[in-house]
Amino acid sequence: MLKVVFLDRNTLAPQTVVRPLGFPHELRVFETTSPEQLPEHMADADIVITNKVRLTADAIAQAPRLKMVAVAATGTDNVDLQACVRRGITVSNIRNYAGHSVPEHVFALIFALRRNLLAYREAVRRGRWQEVGTFCFFDYPIGELHGATLGIVGNGVLGQGAANIGRALGMRVLQAGRKGRATVEAGYTPFDEVLAQSDVISLHCPLNSETRNLIGTAEFERMARRPILINTARGGLVDEAELAVALKAGRISGAGFDVVSQEPPPPDHPFNALCDHPGFILTPHVAWASDEAMQTLANQLIDNIEAFVQGSPRNLMS
């Protein structure tokens, strides 16, 4: 009988239904798993389910029966894929489940920042409206999205979803080519030109050796139109200390982030000092987490495991 271990069930909402697996098995579910608990939790597992628990080469080596890692997310940067390849361990991820949830969250951040909703809300809370004594006040600029330029970095389902919403709002959409390439394919705009021309830039690319610190000091200096920068993809795509500098210096108009390089951010993280800044919004990695998207994820997770057991693995990573 196969032994299945879910290492971090609490990364899915309690209302999300994880249906029973359709084959004989023994299931152990842990709400959380610390690095110290990992060897014990997965020692005799045939199949491990993880969302955010890191499976290093050392951890994998301590699970001699391991045959499959079912990642309850799209990103697999928490799994040592090469160690799995060497052991012949199948790794499957979740795909195309948050195609509405993430783009909607992107535009929730964009609307809030472009129209300075947080600044106006705080002003009203402080009594500014009564102080002014007129029917409205204009302490903070309000910009329309119609006619503005949206730069998309990453052309997967989520990037395309954000681009489609932008076009529906009357935005000009630029799809960025790969950083550092002088020539790009048809339909793409050189990366540096996207930085220079965009009023809003939204990141939708994976985190890897090519994209780590994709946006840093040099890139902020190229942002001629002082754009809003949105990151709902992965922490680490942006040099977070430099983002804080750029925002305070006015090189960007605002920043909406749903991801951080360390989650939750430690007390000395530069984002903590920005939380009272009217041009900064930080949400706790929930862009993907609509009830509908989480249920789709849970259904696909079980589909992936059952497909593997039936001999037809899917959504393979290597």
> Has 277 been annotated as catalytic?
no
Tokens of 254: 């605002």
End-to-end CA distance of the chain: 26
> Has 285 been annotated as catalytic?
yes
> How many other C-beta atoms are found inside a 10 Å radius of the C-beta of residue 204?
26
| Identity of the residue numbered 209 | S
Distance CA 285, CA 67 (A): 29
Distance CA 166, CA 173 (A): 7
Tell me phi and psi for residue 70, to 5 degrees.
-100, 105
Name the residue with tokens 């990642």. Answer: 71
Instruction: Tell me the C-alpha to C-alpha distance, in Å, between residue 28 and each of 7, 8, 93, 139.
Output: 8, 11, 20, 55
> How many other C-beta atoms are found inside a 10 Å radius of the C-beta of residue 187?
9
The one catalytic residue in 234, 240, 242, 251 is 234
Distance CA 305, CA 299 (A): 10
The one catalytic residue in 41, 114, 251, 285 is 285
> Has 263 been annotated as catalytic?
yes
The one catalytic residue in 31, 210, 263, 292 is 263
Kindly list the catalytic residues: 234, 263, 285
